[in-house]
Structure 1
């Protein structure tokens, strides 16, 4: 059951990252959490907590719908920030570096948000 939840996150995570790149400032934190979830040294309880936050980030049906420009990711940011704080002991510098390296690698096209 727990493995199924993590597998679903793994399937949907990178497409969502590519979709929101450049639109959400907490993306490096979400990616670092993803790498912490995959780390074999992270305890199962922490992995499941992280998976829950990432599942919330992945689903378009949440407290504030993601389609609302400008406000749609506020609740997602709060969930990611809360879990990042709660699981900070398991989010290692190597996870943060992997996230930063991925974002700087050019593997995704960063779409700039339009100026208002």
Structure 2
């Protein structure tokens, strides 16, 4: 399947359901990466090309039968993280401090205490 084909699987309701169900299992880095993309997608000033990239990455994240099943311990979300990081690197110019703060605020509701250095690892890969 072409990576852009996954965009057909993206919709906000499915995204929210996936994150609510698997956010803690996926871990703070996967959840943060997905949330960054989600909040960038909602910005009206973001170009259509970037939104297509985001929809494809989030569609892959949502798709129930991706390359490595999400239910496998430790590795199940590794492929998802790779796809999310790639998409983030492609649209990094659209990630504002406000978007980052929205994603962090949502993380704090799911992960009461998390190591913010894990987020710095994500930033180092995309900026």
Which deviates the most, 6-15 or 55-64? Answer: 6-15
Q: Structure 1: give runs of 5+ residues left out of the alignment.
A: 111-116
Shift in Å, 1:97: 0.5
CA distance in 1, matches of 2:54, 2:66: 17
Give the corresponding residue for 2:103.
99
CA distance in 1, matches of 2:79, 2:100: 22
Shift in Å, 1:66: 1.1
Give the corresponding residue for 1:13.
15
Shift in Å, 1:9: 2.0
User: TM-score scaled by structure 2?
Assistant: 0.74
Give 3-state SS (helix, strand or coil) of 1:72's partner: coil
Q: Is the Cα contact below 8 Å between 2:70 and 2:77 reproduced in 1?
A: yes
Q: Structure 2: give runs of 5+ residues left out of the alignment.
A: 1-6, 113-127
> RMSD in angstroms over aligned alpha carbons?
2.0
Which deviates the most, 90-99 or 18-27? Answer: 18-27
Shift in Å, 1:33: 0.7
Q: Is the Cα contact below 8 Å between 2:30 and 2:81 reproduced in 1?
A: yes
Give the corresponding residue for 1:76.
80
Counting matched residue pairs gives: 104
Higher helix share: 2
